[in-house]
């Protein structure tokens, strides 16, 4: 499962469409945007789960963050509170605003989309990712035996289904750095 599949399966398509339309993007550009941001977001999530504390923190955030509202109520995705929450999520995933800016800059270069637009969209996409993960995890929407957040992340990161995420992360990183 890739990030776009996660968003669609959780019902985030309407929310993504809502915010994309508000900034003048069509569906194809919104998918390119998500595709360009996905490797960095997935690496950030993977890094968070490398320690027990990071995994527990992510599980707590998914359980208590009310992120599902970004999926269930698409109009919320355009609010300043959503952007603020997305920036907090990015702080946890990337550690600094500089990394977020670099991610947006690189994604702009690879998609041809405006860098300012990508900077604006990055926290929104982060919120949608958390909302989608929260919805999938609480609905038992993972194929892992325990339905855990770790199982969901494993599904997202193991794109080729070979049981190892390292080759998939390296592939995503390679495409991100091109």
Buried b (16+ CB within 10 A) or exposed e, 104-117: bebbbebbebeeeb
> Across all residues in the chain, what is the average pLDDT?
79
Q: What is the pLDDT of residue 112?
A: 92
Query: What are the CA-CA distances from residue 163 to residues 98, 147, 159 (Å)?
Result: 33, 16, 9
pLDDT confidence of residue 122: 93
For residue 11, the model assigns a pLDDT of 80
State the Cα–Cα distance between residues 126 and 121, nearest whole angstrom: 9
Average pLDDT over residues 41-58: 85
Quickly count helices (H) and strands (E) in the chain.
10, 0
Angle at 8 between CA 51 and CA 47, to 5 degrees: 15
pLDDT tens for each residue of 109-161: 999 999 999 999 999 999 988 888 888 777 654 434 344 555 555 555 555 66
Q: Where are the domains of the chain?
A: 3-177
Highest averaged pLDDT of the listed ranges 52-56, 62-66, 162-166, 170-174: 52-56
3 state SS of 158: coil
| Cα distances (angstroms) measured from residue 167 to each of 4, 93, 158, 161 | 19, 21, 8, 11
Position 113 scores a pLDDT of 92
Q: What is the pLDDT of residues 54-79, one digit of tens each?
A: 888 888 888 777 888 888 888 888 88
Count CB neighbours of 50 within 10 A: 9
Q: Look up residue 7 and give its two tokens.
A: 């968003």
- Predicted local distance difference test score (pLDDT) of residue 166: 47
């Amino acid at each position: 499962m890739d990030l776009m599949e996660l968003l669609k399966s959780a019902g985030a398509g309407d929310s993504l469409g809502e915010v994309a339309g508000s900034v003048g993007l069509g569906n194809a550009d919104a998918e390119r945007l998500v595709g360009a941001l996905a490797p960095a977001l997935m690496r950030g999530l993977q890094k968070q789960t490398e320690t027990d504390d990071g995994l527990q923190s992510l599980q707590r955030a998914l359980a208590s963050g009310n992120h599902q509202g970004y999926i269930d109520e698409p109009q919320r995705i355009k609010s300043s509170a959503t952007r603020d929450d997305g920036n907090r999520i990015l702080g946890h995933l990337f550690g600094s605003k500089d990394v977020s800016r670099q991610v947006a800059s690189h994604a702009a270069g690879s998609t041809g989309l405006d860098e300012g637009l990508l900077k604006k969209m990055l926290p929104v996409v982060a919120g949608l990712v958390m909302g989608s993960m929260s919805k999938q995890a609480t609905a038992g929407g993972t194929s892992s035996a325990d339905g855990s957040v770790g199982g969901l992340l494993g599904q997202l990161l193991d794109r080729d289904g070979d049981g190892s995420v390292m080759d998939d992360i390296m592939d995503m990183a390679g495409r991100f750095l091109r």
